[in-house]
Amino acid sequence: MSETRTLFFVNPWRGRIGPNVGMEQLGLEALRRDHKVELVTQRRDDFVGELEARGAVCHVMPALELTPRTANPARLLGHCRRGWALANRVGGLARAAGADALCINSENMLLMPRAGQIAGCPVALIMRGLRVGELGLAGNVYFKTQQRWVRRYIALVRLGADMLARKGVPREKISVIPNGVDTELYAPRARDEALAAELGVGQDQLVVGAVTHLTPRKGVHHLVEAMAGIAARVAGVKCLIVGGVPTPEDEPFAQAVSRRIQELHLGDKVRLLGYRTDVPALLNLFDVMVHPSESENCPRSTLEAQASGVPVVGFRVGGMPEMVADGVTGVLVEPFDTGAMAEAVIRLLADPAQRQRLGQAGRRRAVRDFDLKTNVGRIIDLLASLRQG
């Protein structure tokens, strides 16, 4: 057992699809190892309550997501000023906590590492997205400054590590630790026939599924287009799309998806289920999981599907080739070829033996490479080992 450390976590946002396995899992593992934990988060929920019940100290800051995407220089300047002030507040809390390490869970919080400088402790930054490769001039300047405050970058895929290196981050400051999946919660199980009946899925009906958000980047519209071709050639196929609208700005997109389903006469084939808490059971209804995102880093839903023994079909974008082994645990097609996506799904639906083979390989790989306890433990070990230089 390593000596007790005070670990301070900054968590800007958490999704609502299925059991939460984000920064809170890091906090729970740190507490299990007898570290002291403090957390800054955007909202109080059941997971925050569980952390507090186990001894963590949680600070709620609703405006924690600092840098919304905007091309307006005046608005960007305003966001940066507020971000700088918020980083100062977080740094003061971490200093008061006597933090030994500050862990920031973010894909775009360029300013938050400043908090570590104020707290006088080393910073580890988890790069949740790959947009660091798309930074403009102002973003590059901030990123250059940020590097002085970050002791260790944690990339989720090798592609992310390569992008950081191209931005000038020394390789010795980069660790690659993928997302993890609870391989006990997400596992192959018998289909829940009561759940299937509730969703209108017949006993022998083939199901194409997706677990995602209704936001343009997640590409649900590509899946809907592919389903037109799939439904024309696979009798009785059903498509279940799990996930809701993450922000009010995404509502027009969600409405457009619903309209397109009707235009393609797929109303009896494609169901939008919204947010669900029974994702593990839903995955065991799926014969094929489609992940239609236009850009991805290390999507947990693909890991959850593979842990559940479900083959994955997706576009060859971002970190997907590192998450899904093409031809081994699923099938990857060129972006954004919905015809090729449809063909890949149709082939798998027509071949139960191949589905089983890919699903079993996915399960083995999830247990070996993406186990939640193992990967969360690696991050906690890294944080506990950091020392102020």
pLDDT score of 230: 98
pLDDT score of 71: 62
Mean pLDDT of 275-281: 94
Q: Is the dihedral of CA 204, 205, 208, 214 positive or negative?
A: negative
| Distance (Å) of CA 142 to CA 125, 138, 170 | 15, 6, 17
Token pair 């940020």 is at which residue?
146
Residues 6+ apart with CB under 8 A from 253: 214, 215, 216, 221
29 compared with 68, residue with greater pLDDT: 29
Q: Can you tell me the distance from the alpha carbon of 12 to that of 111, in angstroms, rounded to the nearest whole number?
A: 13
pLDDT score of 70: 60
Angle between helices 338-349 and 352-369 (to 10 degrees): 100
| 208 in any annotated domain | yes
Same domain, 221 and 301: yes
In terms of residue numbers, what domain contains 290?
193-369
pLDDT score of 129: 78
| Distance (Å) of CA 9 to CA 95, 126, 280 | 13, 11, 27
Same domain, 49 and 137: yes
Same domain, 112 and 173: yes
Same domain, 59 and 173: yes
Q: Per mean pLDDT, which of 101-110, 157-166, 225-234 is the most reliable? A: 225-234
| pLDDT band, very low/low/confident/very high, at 140 (cuts 50, 70, 90) | confident
Token pair 């998450």 is at which residue?
323
Q: Can you tell me the distance from the alpha carbon of 38 to that of 105, in angstroms, rounded to the nearest whole number?
A: 14
| 263 in any annotated domain | yes
In this predicted structure, which of 23-32, 86-95, 119-128, 380-389 has the lowest mean pLDDT? Answer: 380-389
Whether 2 shows a pLDDT value over 50: the answer reads yes
Q: Can you tell me the distance from the alpha carbon of 218 to that of 228, in angstroms, rounded to the nearest whole number?
A: 18
Share of the chain above pLDDT 70, in %: 91
Residues 6+ apart with CB under 8 A from 32: none
pLDDT score of 138: 64
* Tokens matching residue 319: 């970190």
Q: Can you tell me the distance from the alpha carbon of 27 to that of 24, in angstroms, rounded to the nearest whole number?
A: 5
Same domain, 127 and 240: no
Q: Are strands 123-127 and 101-106 parallel, antiparallel or unpaired?
A: parallel
Same domain, 318 and 345: yes
| Distance (Å) of CA 53 to CA 50, 124, 228, 373 | 5, 26, 49, 21
Residues 6+ apart with CB under 8 A from 302: 289, 291, 312, 314, 320, 323, 324, 330
* Tokens matching residue 175: 């660790």
Task: Provide the whole-model pTM.
Answer: 0.91
| pLDDT band, very low/low/confident/very high, at 299 (cuts 50, 70, 90) | very high
pLDDT score of 1: 44
158 compared with 112, residue with greater pLDDT: 158
Mean pLDDT of 367-373: 95
| 47 in any annotated domain | yes
Same domain, 379 and 242: no
pLDDT score of 78: 78
| 185 in any annotated domain | no
* Tokens matching residue 243: 């996930």
* Tokens matching residue 150: 């970050």
Q: How many CA atoms lie within 13 A of 178 on its CB side?
A: 26
- Are residues 311 and 358 in contact, defined by beta-carbon separation less than 8 angstroms? yes
Q: Per mean pLDDT, which of 24-28, 106-110, 142-146 is the most reliable? A: 24-28
Same domain, 262 and 359: yes
Same domain, 87 and 217: no
Select from 247, 184, 186, 175 the least CA-distant residue to 211: 186
Q: How many CA atoms lie within 13 A of 92 on its CB side?
A: 7
Q: Can you tell me the distance from the alpha carbon of 306 to that of 348, in angstroms, rounded to the nearest whole number?
A: 15
| 187 in any annotated domain | no
pLDDT score of 22: 64
Same domain, 260 and 156: no
| pLDDT band, very low/low/confident/very high, at 146 (cuts 50, 70, 90) | confident
For position 59, which CATH number holds? 3.40.50.2000
| 188 in any annotated domain | no
| 145 in any annotated domain | yes
**Model confidence pLDDT, tens digit, residues 194-220:** 999 999 999 999 999 999 999 999 999
Whether 106 shows a pLDDT value over 90: the answer reads no
Question: Under the phi-then-psi rule, with left for phi > 0, alpha for psi from -120 to 50, and beta for the rest, what region is 275?
Answer: beta
pLDDT score of 74: 78
Same domain, 232 and 280: yes
Same domain, 143 and 201: no
171 compared with 18, residue with greater pLDDT: 171
pLDDT score of 212: 94
Number of domains in the chain: 2
| 186 in any annotated domain | no
Cis peptide before 336 (omega within 30 of 0): yes
**Model confidence pLDDT, tens digit, residues 8-40:** 998 755 544 433 446 778 899 999 999 999 999
Share of the chain above pLDDT 90, in %: 72
Mean pLDDT of 297-326: 96
Whether 337 shows a pLDDT value over 50: the answer reads yes
Q: Can you tell me the distance from the alpha carbon of 335 to that of 337, in angstroms, rounded to the nearest whole number?
A: 5
